[in-house]
Amino acid sequence: MAGEIARRLAAVDWEDVERSLWENGCARLPVLLSRAECDQLVALYDDEPRFRKRIEMERHRFGAGEYKYFAAPLPSLVQALRTHAYPALAAVANRWTASLRAPRGARGGRAAPARRARAGAAFPGTLPAFLRRCARAGQTRPTPLMLRYEAGGFNCLHQDLYGAIAFPLQMTFLLSRPGADFEGGEMLFVEQRPREQSRGTVITLQHGEGVVFTTRERPVRGPRGFHRVVMRHGVSRVTSGLRYALGIIFHDAS
């Protein structure tokens, strides 16, 4: 399982993904999960020992629906996605960090040499090394989760932050079939640029397809260099049926 997921992720055009992340703060991934794998994950939802916590969105005014955080150890499929997607995204995260650290007025961006990003790397190159950093900060609880929405369900715009350490990118995979299992339920992304109106992006995922997006903030080039832009994400209202999704967050929770 892990080897097959690693092979699929290695075949992703990560340069194109990074280009979209720099331009939009989010990027569509190809279909990485088969129908059988999606069904396998959906079937886990009622296996309570697999999860450490259940959240009812309406109770907390997060939206309408529910989600559950996986307990350790993570299911092998979830662990493989988290482990093997991390290195490519850590490279992007380090280039983002380097651009924001550059002196005002300095030029740079996606094409900056990788060795320059590594010199002051904010994120280690492997997931285990990053999780050890989370653990030293008291963040030891896994954060990958399953989300479930019935008709009328939605998720308010939010950020997934669980402690002092946060990885700047995360992923979501659609486990249900749009048009067959449910209608509506598009992914929503909104960025708030300084002294400008907010900008929204809508992505309609296909079955087994994923999207990688900004967790909290991303760099945007301005007249005097890069500055931080805050982003939030959510899910539009599900108009009918039942929608399941898998969320892959890389930092652990305190």
pLDDT tens digits, 199-243:
999 999 999 999 999 999 999 998 888 999 999 999 999 999 999
Look at residues 252, 200, 241, 242 and name the one whose alpha carbon lies nearest to residue 52: 252
Q: What is the pTM of this model?
A: 0.92
Percent of the chain exceeding pLDDT 90 equals 86
Question: Helix (H, G, I), strand (E, B), or coil: what is residue 56?
Answer: strand
Q: Where are the alpha helices (DSSP H) in the chain?
A: 2-10, 14-24, 35-43, 57-60, 76-101, 114-119, 127-136
Angle between helices 14-24 and 76-101 (to 10 degrees): 60
134 — pLDDT class (breaks 50, 70, 90): very high
Q: What pLDDT, on the 0 to 100 scale, is given for residue 196? A: 80
pLDDT in tens, 24-80: 999 999 999 999 999 999 999 999 999 999 999 999 999 999 999 999 999 999 999
Angle between helices 76-101 and 2-10 (to 10 degrees): 40
Single-letter amino acid, residue 1: M
Tell me if the domain spanning 2-248 has CATH number 3.90.550.10.
Answer: no
